[in-house]
Structure 1
Amino acid sequence: MTVIEMASLKLPSSRLGEPDKLPTFHWQQPIPVNSTPENRGLSDEESAHGFQWGDSSILPYRVLNDYDRSQRPGTLEAIRIENDHLRLSVLPKHGGRVFEFYDKRLERDLVFRNPVFQPANLAALGAWFSGGIEWNGLIPGHTPFSCAPVFAERLETERGPILRLFEFDRVIEAAWQIDLFLPPDGDQVYVHGRIVNPDSHEKLAYWWTNVAVPMSSGLRVLSPADYSIEHVLPGNELARFDFPHGHGFDGSYPENWQNATSVFFRKPQADRRWIAALDASGVGLAQTSTRELRGRKFFYFGEASGGQHWMDFLSLDGEGRYLEIQSGITPTQNQRFVLPASGIVEFTECFASLVGDAHDVHQADYASACAATARLVERRFDEADFADVDAFLRKVASTPGKRLQSGSAWGMRHERLTGKAIAKGLNFDVEAPVSPWDELASGSGSSQKSLEAIPDDFVVSPRWCAALCESAESQGQTWLHSLVLGIAALDDDRYEEARALFSQSIAIKPTWLGERNLALLADDQIAEEHYRRAWALPGAPPSLAVEIVEFLQRLERFNALNAFIRTLPAPVLTQERIEIARAILALRQSDFDTLQTILERQFATIREGETTLDELWQGLQIGLAMERLERELSGEEAAAVLRSNPLPKHLDFRMLAASQPASSNKDQNDNHG
């Protein structure tokens, strides 16, 4: 029989703090927007409902940027799914991630099981960790629930128990659901996805399932492909290329890619959708699905030093290598799909081990190897059996289950605000402290308690803003009404309206957030004044000091930057971005001892592809050489110094090989969300 029960995983874990109190507006995201992308050679299907990374709002979600690399002994709460053939461990407090997928017959994990929990700055909301199977929707990128709880339920059926995971997305205002089914005597895991739009107008949404598999020498990724599409730098563009030899090497072997790469397999008329990652012996993980999941892709960090460091940085030295195989509703990850008005989008996936003949699956001719693997897939995933389980999972998808873990209160609040259920069979009720948004959803005015302090969460959607406006008309415009409506206006690029609302808010009650938001709208000189007033007001979080430091640094106001940093209390000085600003000041002042000391630390929150530490290291080495020689260096001398003092691994977060120019056709985008 199949067992579903609560469990725990003991493993070294780094600290993950609370979400940032500063709202992050769409234009503050770290992904640069390319306003004129060139999607070269793509079909209408591959371009439909396209978007640009970094151009979409993540509000009202809050960024997770407070974590470290402590890796102290820790425990992750899990839900175990097990029978005689397989064992899965699911993390309900981390997005429902399948952390472990152990095949008892093969005596191996079919997914990359990270030996540690180590957040890093790779998701739209910041903190993300590698390994396992993650469910990414309904906004682009890694799920906003990567490091947050989701609802988990156990559903009893005539075929055995099902583990249900679900949540309400606050941006799309729709529900997503994943039902995990391990048949009692089966050695395959079925995953049924259900996305429900509770509104009477269509929406655009996003979905990709990401599976991390162990990376090894000789591993090959196979999926039906007449050609492929890759992400290309600069500009986050998409380009069609002949697969697998479009770049002069066999691109189906990830280790042939020097730089981080995303490769989308394209065979629009394929009879069946599947993907497999098979090691040198022909053994690995395979996935197939119903036709709703049209996209297949692999992502690899690449063989260059930066990519290799990234994988170990997310894990342990020498233990972090993995590859992602992915499936999505759209052909590429630069697209959204249509979620019909009052409609449902459903799909079923199946995951299992695949054991093939190494000679067959590693034939030099990709088409022949792919055909051999397709035959294995047909035998492993019998089409009639798969259709039968798919029909069963669709039938029970709206049957309520028994609660194992609660998620956020926002689905419940949405239902109270709208007066109707979000999705049949999904129970969003939770016990949570009363917030201003519960008062708003119930139609009551803001209590005195709610007006005493800035809330941790905000609302920005038109539906919630309309309720705020109605509340302001009946109760009178409070500082909180103006502040929150101003946040929504600013994220929607209605700058003058936002400025008036923030000014109105601080006129009623000065707050650090009101002053900070005015700083974002002011010219440089006035912005600095707003920032300083914000920092002086009660409750200002350390992240505000970080934003002020980055503001002064960006404007190259180094004297003001130095003076501001000197006023900061010791706990705030430990913030990584302030440490980096101190390093920049030290380099400018030729204070190489301080710079060297700062660069010895382990940085936890560096963004993928960020080269700040690389530049500081180069400045340090050239500066030390100039100090020794007591003169400037020639270009050749500087290059020789850098060759003799290569970038240390702990500072190398580059996503491109250091020897390749940005225009190389092998330079890949690192978008693996």
Structure 2
Amino acid sequence: MSELRITDLTMPTADLGPVNPLPPLFSGMDSHVAGIDEADDEMRRNVAYGRVRTVLPYLKQDGYGRQHRPRAHRVAVLENETLRATFLLDAGGRLWSLVHRPSGRELLFRNSAFQPGNLALRDAWVAGGVEWNFGTIGHSTTTASPLHAVRAQRPDGTPVLRMYEYERIRRAVFQIDCYLPDDSEALLVHVSLVNPNDHEVPVYWWSNIAVPETADTRVIAPADQAWHFAYDKRLRRVPVPHYAGRDLTYTTRAAASADYFFELDTERGPWIAALDGAGRGLAQRSTRLLTGRKLFHWGTHRGGNRWQEWLSGPGTHYLEIQAGLARTQLEHLALPARTTWSWTEAYGHVHIDPTAAHSDDWQQARSAAETGVDALITSARIEQELQEAEDWTTGQPAELLHSGSGWGALERNRRAKSGDDSLNLPATPFPDTGLGPEQEPWLALLNGGQLPQWAPTSPPASYEVSPEWEPLLEQADGWLSRLCLGVLRAARGDLDGAADAWTRSVEDTPNAWAWRNLGALAAHRERLPAAVDAYARANDLAPDQLPLTHELVGILLRAGRADLALERIDSCSADQRADGRLRMLEARAALETGDTTRCGRILDDGLDVPNLREGDTSLSDLWHAWRRATAESGPIPDPSRTLPHRYDFVMRPESS
């Protein structure tokens, strides 16, 4: 019998830590800028459409470390006789585990620990399971945050886990209804994207599915061509399965990390499967709107192995099979005004003849895999599920299970002020009880015309950048209103207006936050002396803010003042001095001042930067620069020494 329950799952956990209070004014944009010479006109339009300047109004989640301790995570569990599905409610509703009960087989790659790494739009991201990505290109703004969760019900009594949230960049709602009918061998996931606005919004959706990777794992999809995308940022159409002298559907045969976006033959509906040597594994099928399918692998080079170890521990290997709205992850699509898009996905265990699954005849392998997917759920059946879901997924939930953010409630209140009831959505309620400390200043501005009194020694709890807030901020008094007004203007590209607002903020009340923003703007405009001055003022006012110290030292290095950078670092507290990123900056500054001994001591002691960005080669570049500088100044104790494994995050093999 199908069951839904809420419980706790305890696992080794590196806590997320505090959010970074410094608004990401000129960072956080998607980095997927590609050479698209081979793309067709439709893809070119989609690639150019909908890109964002920043992840504002969100703040970065970069306060995590790498120390693990047991922690209980709130989870929802759906279970029937065939499957047990576990969802992390505080981590974007991620499907963390999917167990095939008859065999006891875990169908997903389930991480042994909760360890954030810097791969998402807001930084923090966790490997493993199935991640739901909505909004803009990249791992979602909600991937490491709580979702609202409620209990709903199908007309036949099947319990439904409904998760949802208001996404602040697109100002739209996503809703995920998950259920396991009594007789179903597939977990069914119905997704709805709701645009409540009077204008179209660019949207992006990819369900990212991590599965175990072995030497005999093969990924099969109904495609004879794919778009290859790697770290040279170029999109190339390639044949499937054989490309560059190997079979790309076996991921351990590739040295380099890569994406393959399959050009699907969707006559019988889109699907993808990852099968081991015995022909067993996970399959995912969907209705036709979710037309994209992708294979991602880390490769077998040192950097790819290091990344997997960094994210999920030694000896772990996984790949990702993914499903999305567009053909590639470089694209946004236009969701029309006051429109909802919906589709249904199915996840489950398949077992096909291994000889056919691993046949050299690609068409035979495709046909056998499709037969296995049909045995799990046919295209006709999943289309029927979609049609039936349209009747019950708009109904009111039966019970609140878990709270997400208060931003949907705040936006509902703001719209209601002008008679707009577009966020009064019965299926996804945003009650006032969800309002919290982040929303309270904005509720005060909305209802009383002023932001509350805020000590300038403390950073603001949040920001808003929707245009409707601008006139309210312009009419409000005080340093905080002018600070927030500047952030709103910067988010829409009015940099002169932002500078004016921040200047008035510090004239009203000296505060580190407006000085920091003026410094970030000066650095963005390559006015480095002005940036150094503004950042120094900010740091003097808030010396205990580690993110501010990071940015100040970085600006000093950009300005060629490594000597001043070392002075600032030497004046920091012991806690700041122990921080991995600051130690990396210290090593860089030491090297630039010619102190190779100090740099080498830091590198030899062991240097970890918890939020090193995917694709960032700062550590390996630093190590190689130190080796060169040491060689120039005298004999090297061990001239044969190569780049240590702990510093090798390079995403391209040396031969590529």
Secondary structure of 1:6's counterpart equals: strand
Higher relative contact order (CA 8 A, sep 6+): 1
Identify the match of residue 618 of structure 1 among 619, 624, 636: 624
Between 1:410-419 and 1:488-497, the stretch displaced more is 488-497
Aligned position for 1:511: 511
* Cα shift at 1:540: 6.0
User: How many angstroms apart in 2 are the aligned matches of 1:493 and 1:570?
Assistant: 39
What SS class does the counterpart of residue 77 from structure 2 fall into?
strand
Equivalent-residue separation in structure 1 for 2:336 and 2:288 (angstroms): 17
Are 2:591 and 1:587 aligned?
yes
Partners of 1:493 and 1:446 lie apart in 2 by 23
Q: Tell me the alpha carbon deviations over residues 583-638 of structure 1, each in whole angstroms, 9 at most, x when there is no partner.
A: 1233343443652444513332111222221122224445555666389xxxxxxx
Query: How far does residue 656 in structure 1 lie from its aligned partner after superposition?
Result: 0.6
1:480-519 paired onto structure 2 within 5 Å: 480-519=480-519
Seen in structure 2, the aligned counterparts of structure 1 residues 572 and 29 have a Cα distance that, compared at 3 Å, is same
Aligned residue among 426, 444, 460 for 1:424? 426
Match of 1:107 in 2: 104
Give, in angstroms, the shift of residue 33 of structure 1. Answer: 7.1
Structure-1 residue corresponding to 2:441: 436
Secondary structure of residue in 1 paired with 2:520: helix
Cα distance, 1:54–1:649 mapped onto 2, change above 3 Å: farther
Matches within 5 A, 1:19-418: 19-25=19-25, 27-29=26-28, 34=33, 37-51=34-48, 56-157=53-154, 158-234=156-232, 236-267=233-264, 270-318=267-315, 320-401=316-397, 402-418=399-415
Residue pair 2:528, 2:555 contacting (<8 A) in 1 also: no
Distance in 1, matches of 2:455 and 2:427, equals 33
Structure 1 residues 367-406: Cα deviation after superposition (integer angstroms, max 9, x where no partner): 2211221122223213343233222222111112111000
Deviates more, 1:458-467 or 1:255-264: 458-467
Q: State the TM-score, normalizing by the size of structure 1.
A: 0.91
- In structure 2, relative to structure 1, the CA distance for the partners of 1:625 and 1:446 (3 Å cut) is closer
Could you tell me which runs of 5 or more consecutive residues in structure 1 were left unpaired when the two chains were aligned.
Answer: 632-639, 661-673
Alpha-carbon shift at residue 46 of structure 1 (Å): 2.9
Q: Distance in 1 between matches of 2:365 and 2:459?
A: 60
Residue 603 of structure 2 contacts residue 623 of structure 2 at CA under 8 Å; is this kept in 1?
A: no
Secondary structure at the aligned position of 1:115 is classed as coil
Specify the code of the residue in structure 2 equivalent to 1:20: N
1:556 aligns with one of 552, 556, 560: 560
Q: How far does residue 507 in structure 1 lie from its aligned partner after superposition? A: 1.0
Matched residue, 1:671: none
How far the C-alpha of 1:428 sits from its partner, in A, is 1.2
CA displacement at 1:176 relative to structure 2: 0.2
Give secondary structure in 1 for the equivalent of 2:312.
Answer: coil
Post-superposition Cα deviations, 1:439-497, rounded to whole Å, max 9, x if no partner, equal 1233543333588954210001212224433xx1xxx4322222111112223332211
- Offset of residue 421 of structure 1: 4.2
Mapped to 2, the partners of 1:502 and 1:648 lie a distance apart of 44
- AA in 1 matched with 2:582: I
Distance apart, 1:252 and its partner CA: 1.2
Q: Secondary structure at the match of 1:49?
A: helix
Distance 1:233 1:538 in 2: 38
1:569 aligns with 2:573: yes
Counterpart-to-counterpart distance in 1, 2:234 and 2:430: 39
Residue 411 (structure 1) shift: 0.1
CA distance in 2, matches of 1:12, 1:370: 39
Equivalent runs, 1:514-663 vs 2, <5 Å? 514-522=514-522, 523-538=527-542, 541-588=545-592, 589-592=594-597, 595-599=600-604, 600-623=606-629, 629=635, 641=639, 644-660=640-656
Contact 2:405 2:435 in 1 (8 A): no
1:468 — aligned with what?
A: 473
Per-residue deviation, residues 53-95 of structure 1 (Å, max 9, x unmatched): 9853200011111111112222222111112221111111110
Deviations 1:134-166 (A, max 9, x none): 100012211111211110111133241000010
Letter in structure 1 aligned against 2:222: P
The change in CA–CA distance for 1:539 and 1:154 in structure 2 (over 3 A counts) is farther
* Rounded Cα–Cα distance in structure 2 between residues aligned with 1:418 and 1:217: 54
Are the counterparts in 2 of residues 33 and 53 from structure 1 also a CA contact under 8 Å? no
Q: Distance in 1 between matches of 2:577 and 2:78?
A: 45
Task: Evaluate the alpha carbon distance shift between residue 547 and residue 53 of structure 1 in structure 2; reply closer, same or farther with a 3 A threshold.
Answer: farther
Change (3 A) 1:206 1:373: same
| Residue in structure 1 matched with residue 450 of structure 2 by the alignment | 445
Q: Structure 1 pair 342/416, CA: closer, same or farther in 2 (3 Å)?
A: same
Question: Structure 1 CA distance, aligned partners of 2:572 and 2:82?
Answer: 57
Unaligned runs of 5+ in 2: none
Asked if the contact 1:53/1:334 (under 8 Å) is kept, the reply is no
User: 2:636 and 2:130 mapped to 1: Cα distance?
Assistant: 55
1:328-376 CA distance string (max 9 Å, x none): 0111111111111101010100011110111101111222211221122
- Structure 1 distance, partners of 2:597, 2:485, is 47
State the match for 1:2 in structure 2.
2
1:117 positional shift: 0.7
In the TM superposition, residue 325 of structure 1 has moved relative to its aligned partner by 0.5
Identity %: 31
SS, match of residue 247 in structure 2:
coil
The amino acid that maps onto 2:573 is: P
Q: TM-score, with normalisation over the residues of structure 2?
A: 0.93
Structure 1 residue 538, shift from structure 2 partner: 4.5
CA-CA distance at 1:43 after TM superposition:
2.3
Q: Is the 8 A contact 1:197 1:339 kept in 2?
A: yes
SS at match of 2:223: coil
- The one-letter code matched in structure 1 to 2:430 is F
Go from structure 1 to structure 2 and tell me whether the alpha carbon gap of 1:404 and 1:199 turns closer, same or farther (over 3 Å shift).
same
Aligned mates of 2:406, 2:575 — CA distance in 1: 32
The number of residues matched between the two structures is 640
**Equivalent position SS for 1:79:** strand
1:520: how far off?
2.2
Alpha carbon RMSD of aligned pairs, Å? Answer: 2.2
| Aligned 8 A contact 2:566 2:590 in 1 | no
Worse-matched range after superposition: 458-467 or 500-509: 458-467
Q: 8 Å contact 2:94–2:132 — kept in the other structure?
A: yes
Distance 1:484 1:189 in 2: 44
Whichever residue aligns with residue 621 of structure 2, its letter is E
Which whole-Å deviations, capped at 9, do the CAs of 1:105-150 have from their partners, x for residues lacking one? 1211100010011111111111111000110001221111121111
CA distance in 2, matches of 1:322, 1:625: 39
Q: Look up the match of 1:636.
A: none
What letter is aligned with 1:323? L
The 1-side partners of 2:246 and 2:459 are apart by 56
